[in-house]
Amino acid sequence: MGSPFVRPGSDAPRTPTGRSSQVGFAAKYPKFDLGNPDQFMQAVRNIQHLHDVTPPHLRASGSEWYPKVHEAVQKGIRRTSVSPEHGAAMVASISPQMDWGSRNIPAFKELHSLKKQDWAAIHRSEAGGRRTPEVEHLLKGMSLVHASDTGLVRAHRLMEGENIEDVINRRTAPKIHSFYHNIAYPHQHTHVTIDYRAHDIAINRMYPAAYSGRGLSSAALASGKPTRYEHFENAYRAAGLGRDIELPHHMQAIVWEGGKHIETSAPTKSGKPRVKGVTRTGQPYV
């Protein structure tokens, strides 16, 4: 499985200035209401259906995805002062478009190669809200070039030993927080990583990856009221139990692999092999 936090790609609509536009998206891509018992159960069935049509070899690789990355983190932090938990949190922080499919994570070596002045430049870039040419040049040739400035700053804070829960807060960053837990504790009951693909599989609609209206930005509210993010986590828990999959993040990883396979194996008009996923316009997975 690639990262559950792939940066939005070319399916984001563009204005003449090159900026993403989401005018009219709310009407075109309505929200599934998982607070509604009927829609909740439909989401559960959608997840289970995609699981059932996922090829066996992808089910196997999905079920081993988090343990495999956990092992890669253990390897990556050897001979460093980084704890296993902080290593998992660092991976979660810099995850967009990173390849976590191998047993080596070059990002650890790259992070430790950055000097004090390099980090100062990254912090300035993040504070400005847009990557500077200085940082773009600094990261050129590294896998870290795909990570956001915000993610890099989080990783730096973790390298400096800050408390993980202070750097990655479930209330305001539930996807990253869940990803950290799933990597750090792959064999334990914990949260479920709900990214754009996990959401879209549950509603059986491929919305544009860049669409910001999925409503997954918060969890663990002070009021105790469950958020949309938590409703989707519960849908994956129920779907997993219905297929004798004890750990819900393993179900998420399996169908994530299955969904990606569907997106990337669809035939092209020219008949040539597909080099990227289908354009996401709200079509169903299955």
pLDDT score of 41: 98
CA separation for the pair 94, 159 (Å, rounded): 13
Q: What is the pLDDT of residues 62-114, one digit of tens each?
A: 999 999 999 999 999 998 999 999 999 999 999 865 655 555 688 999 999 99
Domain assignment present for 16: no
Listed residue (253, 102, 109, 125) closest to 187, CA to CA:
253
Whether 137 is in a domain gets the answer yes
Tell me if 284 is assigned to some domain: no
6 occurs within a structural domain: no
Question: Is 97 a domain residue?
Answer: yes
In-domain check, residue 79: yes
Q: Is residue 207 part of a domain?
A: yes
Residue 160 belongs to domain spanning:
25-265
Q: How does pLDDT run across 45-60, given as a tens digit for each residue? A: 999 999 999 999 999 9
Is 4 a member of any domain?
no
What is the dihedral angle through the alpha carbons of 163, 63, 43, 230, rounded to the nearest 10 degrees?
A: -10
pLDDT at 18 over 60: no
Cα dihedral across residues 140, 144, 148, 153: positive or negative: negative
Q: φ, ψ for residue 14 (rounded to 5)?
A: -125, 140
Q: Give the mean pLDDT of 18-23.
A: 68
Structural domains in the chain (count)? 1
Which letter, b or e, does each residue of 86-114 get, where b requires 16 or more Cβ atoms within 10 Å of its Cβ? Answer: bbbbbbbbbbbbbebeeeebebbebbeeb
Q: pLDDT tens-digit profile of 259-280?
A: 999 999 988 888 887 878 999 9
Tokens of 161: 């030993």
Q: What is the pLDDT of residue 4?
A: 42
